[in-house]
């Protein structure tokens, strides 16, 4: 292969990465019912997740859970079936300490990391995980506030967005249920400026009163 051809291929690589980044994976069904200051209020239909619980710091939790979850959808199940990938990958603390601002002693916190399962597959159709660390969970209809942002997956960036969402919800008098969720919609090789990330948090379904000013 000539040097000119190699240069041409190298020039195409960023364009290919951008094209891949812009291809959206299927997501759970939801309806946007209101909009607030930098966030959407979404009503999600029920969906199923494959979940792994790990102890790690914020930035290593998903890495620790990734192998068993990928193993499950790539045939690591009873039946050896491959399952299509969906978005997002969710990371949520299991305790109040993990939900608080980062500290120097936050190396071993408990997290749940989830892969969303194909929405056309009922729970009864999904194969049993071969790895006992993986469990299947059916999530009910939920009302979720979602704040979208782009950039890397570092904790400082996430915490800034999380604080902005919680502050906006507090200003509306919304009742928050459970800990916020870090939702990632792109593969690790996608450049940070193209990554779609979200902070999600469940809120009490109290009608439209907290969002009436929209």
Least confident of 19-28, 65-74, 140-149, 178-187: 19-28
pLDDT score of 113: 98
CATH of the domain at 98: 3.20.80.10
**Under the phi-then-psi rule, with left for phi > 0, alpha for psi from -120 to 50, and beta for the rest, what region is 79?**
left
Confidence of residue 192 (pLDDT cuts 50, 70, 90): confident
pTM of the model: 0.83
pLDDT score of 13: 45
Given a contact cutoff of 8 angstroms between Cβ atoms, the answer to whether 158 and 199 are in contact is yes
Rounded to an integer, what distance in angstroms lies between the CA atom of residue 74 and that of residue 86? 13
Rounded to an integer, what distance in angstroms lies between the CA atom of residue 29 and that of residue 13? 33
Q: What is the pLDDT of residues 195-209, one digit of tens each?
A: 999 999 999 987 655
Rounded to an integer, what distance in angstroms lies between the CA atom of residue 161 and that of residue 149? 8
HSE value, Cβ hemisphere, 13 Å, CA-based, for 74: 6
Q: How many domains does the chain have?
A: 1
pLDDT(21) > 60? no
Q: Which domain holds residue 191?
A: 3-211
Average pLDDT, the chain: 85
């Amino acid at each position: 292969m000539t040097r000119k051809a190699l240069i041409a291929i190298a020039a195409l690589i960023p364009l290919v990465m951008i094209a891949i980044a812009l291809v959206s994976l299927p997501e759970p069904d939801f309806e946007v019912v209101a909009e607030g200051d930098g966030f959407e209020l979404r009503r999600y239909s029920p969906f199923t997740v494959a979940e792994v619980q790990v102890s790690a710091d914020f930035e290593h939790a998903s890495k620790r859970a990734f192998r068993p979850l990928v193993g499950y959808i790539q045939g690591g199940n009873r039946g050896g079936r491959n399952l299509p990938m969906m978005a997002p990958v969710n990371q949520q603390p299991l305790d109040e300490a993990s939900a608080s601002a980062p500290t120097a002693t936050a190396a071993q916190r408990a997290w749940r990391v989830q892969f969303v399962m194909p929405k056309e597959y009922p729970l009864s159709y999904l194969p049993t995980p071969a790895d006992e660390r993986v469990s299947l969970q059916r999530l009910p209809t939920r009302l979720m506030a979602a704040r979208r942002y782009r950039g890397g997956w570092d904790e400082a960036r996430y915490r800034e967005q999380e604080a902005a969402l919680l502050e906006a919800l507090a200003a509306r008098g919304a009742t928050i249920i459970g800990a916020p969720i870090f939702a990632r919609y792109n593969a690790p090789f996608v450049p940070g400026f193209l990554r779609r990330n979200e902070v999600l948090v469940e809120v009490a379904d109290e009608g439209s009163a907290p969002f009436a000013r929209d």
